[in-house]
Structure 1
Amino acid sequence: MASITKQDIITIIGAGMGGKGLAAQLGINGFRLRIQDIDDAQVAGMRAAGGLHVEGRDVTFAPVEMATTDLAAAVKDAAVLIVSTYGTDHPVLARQLAPLLEDGQTIVLCQGHFGGALLFRAELDRQGCKAQVDIAEMDSYPYMLHVKTPDSVIMTTIKTKWNLVAMPASRSAAVLERVGIAFPNMVTAPNLLHTGFVDLGAIFHVAGMVTNVSRVENDESYNFYTANMVPTVCDLIAKLDAERVAVAAAYGAKIMNVREWLALTYTLANPTLQEDMQEMGRTHFRYAPAPKSLSHRYLVQDVACGLVPIACLGPLAGVPTPACDTVIRFASLLTGRDFYAEGRNLHALGLEGKSVAEIVATVTG
């Protein structure tokens, strides 16, 4: 599959902080861009300005050819569709895209959370989508940034490395060849388990939310990492992380633990996890807005799409997940929701009734 060129159209679906960051970085790098969101307030500023004003990079303006709420117009003739919506929105978006997709298009979920590409592909199939498209997911979001106004952002860190996997995984190399020019630090991973189990943000975010409810629901501004990452919270992160690594290993996925991941991704190498998290808050995430509600994606999305799959896959492979189970149940009690039922459980992922070996075969393709 030939690489895209800077004359090909990239459409970004979702114009929140993630979508604006993608538009800023890809725009200043010279790619032709469209951006779409269901909320016109997210795209109106870019439409009026013709793009995004950018701080923190040598180039200060990222042109955007189309900023719209019209999904069909945004998708038409685009070479690549980058999905930057909440993971909880993936099934709905797949249903909306099914009749609009064209042969040869590439869909990249940025990010997939756990099994996003698997879920997306299954939903397109259920809708009878006939277009021949590639679907892939990233294991994490590549940029750190701050949205100043609807048409301006401050860009800070670019991660040193992140992974991409297609569904089926046999298409990963072709997809990377297709879109890699836009994401130079991205590499392929063996299968969707390697991207799904590397969603560290879910663990950081959920641990920081359920242990700091009073701060979340207080009107005062705060830095999520420097304020919340005290020793006990970091101990909880370590316990959740140990379960994540153990469950992944049971499915043949050898992944980095949290300290190794922080060292590779953010070059953090302090004596303790707490010091790493504090430094991350002071530097890479110094502009990141902190959650002010328990309905924030740091809790709702990351429990449903991050912790629930670990807690469901663990027992099937004989790996207990008491920390994940406790946090999921507590998050459900706090919010009045049943995250086990609404999250990416085995049924939602299309893995119910399969053995460990069958699941590995399914995600590898």
Structure 2
Amino acid sequence: MGEENKQIYFVCGGGHQGLAMAAHLALNGEKVTLWNRTPEHIDEIMRTGRIYCSGEVNGIAKIEKASDNIEEVVTSYILVTVPSTAYHDVAQVLAPYVNRNTVIVLNPGRTFGAIEFSEELKKNGVKEMPQIAETQTIVYTCRRSDKNCVTIFAMKRDVEIAALDRMYLNNILRKMPVCLQKYFVAQKSVAYTSFANVGMILHCAPVLMNIGWIENEKVDFKYYYDGISKSVAKYIEKMDAERINVAKELGYKIESVSEWLRRTYNVEGTDLYECIKNNIAYREIDAPPSLDSRYIYEDVPNGLVPIEYIGKQLNVETKYITNIIDLANGVYDADFRKTGRQFPVQTITQYF
């Protein structure tokens, strides 16, 4: 393939994950464009076309173009890295530009993200559905430190990926950048990637159990190392068991968060607490600077809520998950069940 005909990869979203992915691909010789709804967040990249990357991937990445105007940067291979709470809006923006030859990879889908994205495209008039896939989690453990700077602390291994229509998965992976392909392992159904959403287990309860420290401007602490004590870890293991039981009732065997940590980060530990403490990649991850965090605004409505909702339909108890949803509603004066993903079992199983 000539350089002029080389695939250009469109990274949709300019947050932590978007900058990490755009920099990683560009530093591996891929052509990359970048879009973000809020231009102020990427104005330095728009001006210079450069992203400064450190950590597991080092260098100054040069991208083709960054813009807040999607028409200027959209291509036929779309890597969505925005929080899943933005899928409704992003699907609406992308709808005029997609067709059956378009690939959309949601990084990650969170729970039933590919289903939601597909349903939103249909509502916005898309007749030829694109080839949609979702990942279990994002490949990168990373943090953006400035508008055009990102640190990649680790690259996760064997991240599960599945296509909404499984017949397209081979094509989606074949056209994916070679530097990215090696981090994924194919799954036969989005049931696995959705129920294997570990973010909702690792994020929600620790934030709510560390409210005082997060709101204390005099205190900085490491989210995983300091925020997840033995007692917190034991509680989220109970939530994790409920997630696994809901999936099991539908016929899917899902690994625990501890098993996922051992597989993904190659760590050792007899329980969740030990696995987290032995994970070098987590040592420098700071706690959210405020309660205004995707760890709640994304992971409660698009993680815990759909698990609880499916559990109720299947008569599977989720009392520990329910406790955290109730606490989040009270602390944030919100109704995350109302805004969250509540799909009937018959709706999600038609995609499985």
TM-score, length of structure 1 as denominator length: 0.90
Pick closer, same or farther for the CA change 1:341–1:49 going to 2, 3 Å. same
- Please say which of residues 337-346 and 124-133 is displaced more in the overlay: 124-133
Q: Is the 8 A contact 1:146 1:287 kept in 2?
A: no
Q: CA deviation at 1:169?
A: 2.7
The answer to whether the aligner puts 1:7 opposite 2:25 as a matched pair is: no
- Please say which of residues 317-326 and 146-155 is displaced more in the overlay: 146-155
Partner of 1:189 in structure 2?
187
Partner of 2:63 in structure 1?
64
The answer to whether the aligner puts 1:148 opposite 2:145 as a matched pair is: yes
SS of equivalent residue, structure 2 residue 278: helix
Partner of 1:134 in structure 2?
131
- Please say which of residues 200-209 and 53-62 is displaced more in the overlay: 53-62
5 Å-filtered alignment, 1:259-270, equals 259-270=258-269
Say how many residue pairs are matched: 349
Query: C-alpha distance in 2, partners of 1:250/1:179?
Result: 34
Q: Is the 8 A contact 2:20 2:53 kept in 1?
A: no
Q: CA deviation at 1:93?
A: 1.0
1:86-107 C-alpha deviation (Å, 9 max, x unpaired): 1111011111111122551111
5 Å-filtered alignment, 1:1-365, equals 7-57=6-56, 60-75=59-74, 78-179=75-176, 181=178, 182-219=180-217, 220-280=219-279, 283-346=280-343, 352=344, 354-355=345-346, 359-360=348-349, 362-364=350-352
- Please say which of residues 265-274 and 246-255 is displaced more in the overlay: 265-274
Q: CA deviation at 1:18?
A: 0.8
- Please say which of residues 252-261 and 13-22 is displaced more in the overlay: 252-261
Q: Is the 8 A contact 1:54 1:155 kept in 2?
A: yes
Query: C-alpha distance in 1, partners of 2:5/2:301?
Result: 36
SS of equivalent residue, structure 1 residue 265: helix
- Please say which of residues 190-199 and 45-54 is displaced more in the overlay: 45-54
Q: Is the 8 A contact 1:6 1:30 kept in 2?
A: no
Q: Which runs of 5+ in 2 are unaligned?
A: none
Query: C-alpha distance in 2, partners of 1:38/1:289?
Result: 25
Q: CA deviation at 1:79?
A: 2.6
SS of equivalent residue, structure 2 residue 282: coil
- Please say which of residues 111-120 and 50-59 is displaced more in the overlay: 50-59
Query: C-alpha distance in 2, partners of 1:359/1:227?
Result: 37
Which letter does structure 1 place at the counterpart of 2:186?
T
1:294-340 C-alpha deviation (Å, 9 max, x unpaired): 22100111001110111011121221111111111111111011111
Query: C-alpha distance in 1, partners of 2:34/2:292?
Result: 25
Which letter does structure 2 place at the counterpart of 1:218?
N
- Please say which of residues 130-139 and 63-72 is displaced more in the overlay: 130-139
SS of equivalent residue, structure 2 residue 143: strand
Which letter does structure 2 place at the counterpart of 1:154?
T
TM-score, length of structure 2 as denominator length: 0.93
Partner of 1:349 in structure 2?
none
Q: Is the 8 A contact 1:145 1:153 kept in 2?
A: yes
Query: C-alpha distance in 2, partners of 1:115/1:206?
Result: 18
Query: C-alpha distance in 2, partners of 1:33/1:284?
Result: 27
Q: Which runs of 5+ in 1 are unaligned?
A: 347-351
1:263-319 C-alpha deviation (Å, 9 max, x unpaired): 001111123321222233xx2133434213222100111001110111011121221
**Percent of pairs identical after alignment?**
27
Query: C-alpha distance in 2, partners of 1:87/1:17?
Result: 14
1:100-129 C-alpha deviation (Å, 9 max, x unpaired): 225511111101001111111111111111
Which letter does structure 2 place at the counterpart of 1:320?
E
Q: Is the 8 A contact 2:26 2:62 kept in 1?
A: yes
1:205-243 C-alpha deviation (Å, 9 max, x unpaired): 101011111012111221111111111100111100000
Q: CA deviation at 1:57?
A: 4.8
Q: CA deviation at 1:131?
A: 4.3
Which letter does structure 2 place at the counterpart of 1:301?
E
Q: CA deviation at 1:259?
A: 1.6
Query: C-alpha distance in 2, partners of 1:6/1:26?
Result: 17
Q: Is the 8 A contact 1:294 1:300 kept in 2?
A: no
Query: C-alpha distance in 1, partners of 2:57/2:96?
Result: 40
Pick closer, same or farther for the CA change 1:175–1:261 going to 2, 3 Å. same
Q: Is the 8 A contact 2:56 2:154 kept in 1?
A: no
Query: C-alpha distance in 1, partners of 2:313/2:23?
Result: 42
SS of equivalent residue, structure 1 residue 363: coil
Q: CA deviation at 1:256?
A: 0.7
1:165-203 C-alpha deviation (Å, 9 max, x unpaired): 111233223322222623312122121110111111211
Q: Is the 8 A contact 2:276 2:282 kept in 1?
A: no
Which letter does structure 2 place at the counterpart of 1:225?
Y
Q: Is the 8 A contact 1:262 1:276 kept in 2?
A: yes
